[in-house]
Chain A
Amino acid sequence: MADIYSGSAKKKPVPASSTKKKPSSEKLPEKTRSPLLKEVRKEVYDMIGKTRNPLSSFVARPTSLNFETQADNEKIILLLRRHWITNLRWLFFAVLMVLAPILLISVPLLSFLPDRFQLIAVLMWYMFTTAYVLESFLSWYFNVYIITDERIIDIDFISLIYKEVSDADIEMIQDVTYKQGGIVRTMFNFGTILIQTAAEKPNFEFADVPNPALVVKILQKMRMEERQEELEGRIR
């Protein structure tokens, strides 16, 4: 009875620097992971496969990619972007903008200008077109959602020089739902995933990501893995 209150049963004081939770890969190195954990991870890998195309909107287990706040042992499971079909709108406008100066041959809208001004006007038009295409592409390419074996991360570039990077530990996820409505979304299988967390940022929105049902399943598996890791961490 006295043993409960003294000796090894007493909690050791935790130094302030070590209060932050270590990544579970540190807690449980790969070699010491239980067969159940390995099985769960294998299921996840089997479900998503491996993507080699860096321009994909569903990049599974990328090898040549990392992000600013990535921990040493943290592995990226999935990197998601908006579905490629969402780019069609700006691509359509870009094609129209590229072709617009050709109209000037049949409809001389700039004929009131001297030739040298007409040339500069056309060049300026193409500069704006380049800027539009570049901005639209950058917005698609770098606004990403990342699922690692530890966290979910939402990287948003809202305007030219404003960025917002939010993350939440997987064990902080409380509720995951997804919305997939409309003809285009159903045909091309993409939708929006809403993740409620107990982290500082309560809501994460993965907008227009491909295969949302699979992503939700992956998140479920990762949460299961995280719970099991915690359990085994306590036992060991």
Chain B
Amino acid sequence: MGFENFFESVFNISIWIVAKWLVEIALLVYLVFAVIVVRQVYMMTEVVKEKFNWIVKIISWIHLLFAILVIFLSLAIL
């Protein structure tokens, strides 16, 4: 009997369901981090204002978007 079956027989729930929700929690924590990064970039660009700061801002928004997309993808396929 593999660990997968053992877990299912003891807790009466599939291990992959548990794993899915652990992954979702981890991704939500990461999403919060990505939001903080955007906030941080805005704070930094306020302190040191340079004409190329918009590039850094866009990168931080892409990073946040990426984090959101991965959450949706994980909800869809896991």
Query: Which positions in A face B, CB cutoff 8 Å?
Result: 54, 62, 64-68, 114, 116-117, 119-120, 123-124, 127, 130-131, 134-135, 138, 141-142, 144, 155, 157, 160-161, 163, 165
Contacts and interface: CB of A to CB of B under 8 A. Distances in A.
A229 B38 CA distance: 43
A124 B63 contact: no
Top 3 closest pairs, chain A to chain B, by CB? A142-B44, A64-B51, A116-B77
B48 A131 contact: no
B71 to A, nearest CB: 10
Interface residues of B, number: 33
Chain B at the A interface: SS class: helix
Interface of B: 16, 19, 23, 26-27, 30, 33-34, 36-37, 39-41, 43-44, 46-52, 56, 59-60, 63, 66-67, 70, 73-74, 77-78
Contact of B36 (A62, A127, A144, A161): A161
B47 A68 contact: yes
Contacts, number: 79
A120 B21 CA distance: 13
A209 to B, nearest CB: 16
Contacts of B39: 161
B48 A116 contact: no
28 contacts: A54-B50, A54-B51, A65-B48, A65-B50, A67-B47, A67-B48, A68-B47, A68-B48, A68-B49, A114-B16, A117-B16, A117-B23, A117-B78, A119-B77, A123-B73, A124-B26, A127-B30, A127-B66, A131-B30, A131-B33, A134-B63, A135-B37, A142-B48, A157-B44, A161-B39, A161-B43, A163-B47, A165-B47
